[in-house]
Structure 1
Amino acid sequence: MQNLKLTLTGLTFLGLATLAGCSFPGVYKIDIQQGNVVTQDMIDQLRPGMTRRQVRFIMGSPLIVDTFHANRWDYLYSIQPGGGQRQQERVSLVFDNNDQLVGLSGDFMPGTSREQEIMGSPADSTSPASTMPEQPAQPQQQAPQDEPAKPGSTEEELQREIDSIRTEPVPTPTPIDTSSD
């Protein structure tokens, strides 16, 4: 009788330990996100000559500020959907000695949206990948299309909406007057 109780207790613990390591189908697994969320809209707002404060306002605090490269900020973002492959994106911003933005490199480029990459629109191949455009205020030239959109089609409506979008410049904050009268 005593041996039967010990055997059942041992088998119960063995069974629970075995089940603890298994993953059952249909069990919810959480998405694991780490780092700074960076969007193409954030990158499109960056302009050469912006101060560190302005960049921090748009992008948030950098994940990595390297002590050996004080003029470089690194933004890293990774996500692992529940049970899926881990995906990672990286953006590095470079400042000059006057604390002004001079370039960026990484997975996001100015003026190249994820939609353009998916649809296969070519990016501006004349600018190097690790620098920012010199004159961001000018509209980008569109690549010639093989066939124009048919009048009244969804493609034409979307193109009309895209063409009507106007970007807004990032407001420069005015310094607070700390002098007391």
Structure 2
Amino acid sequence: MRLNFRTARPLPGLLALCAALSACSGTSSQPELAKSGDTVLGFVRPYRVEVVQGNVLTKELVSRVKPGMSRAQVRDLLGSPLLTDMFHDNRWDYSFAIRRQGAPYQQRRVVAWFDGDQLKSLEVPDDLPSENEFVAAITTFPSGKAPKLELSEEERKALPVPVRPPAPTPEAMGVQRSYPPLEGR
């Protein structure tokens, strides 16, 4: 098959290609996203999977752990460590990382050092957040305010009283049968 360039008319295709390529140079309404590579063609943001790895440790959790606690007690409070090394059995690493769309990437590491079965020390980073600070850091709601999860007492009282269905009558339950006892066989 021979292609005749005189009859193929490449001009409309060439114009469409130029228009598509010129759209790539457009600017985003959110320049910080365009710089970070989170947009395609300057305005489309692809879906990114939320990745959470490790144990979420907060100031409140870590403050409950004290030197002299056993390994089981530390595991009960902080959870199982993400890393345990068979060559360094006196060290547990609690690593945490979260990558969530619309929130900054976070990564922290807490290291527990043991002497035998007793906790010797805990290495805690200076930027370890409290529970409220952690929730605020990963909140991606447009208003910046988390949705309300509980009703107040006034709202509970304003709810309609649930109607209980009537109890079934014995006739509606079907035929009643009596079986002989299993003893004595």
In which range does the TM-score fall when normalised by the shorter chain? 0.3 to 0.5
Question: Taking CA–CA contacts closer than 8 Å with sequence separation of 6 or more, which of the two structures ends up with the larger relative contact order?
Answer: 1
- State the TM-score, normalized to the length of structure 1: 0.45
Computing the radius of gyration over CA atoms, which structure comes out larger, 1 or 2? 2
- State the TM-score, normalized to the length of structure 2: 0.44
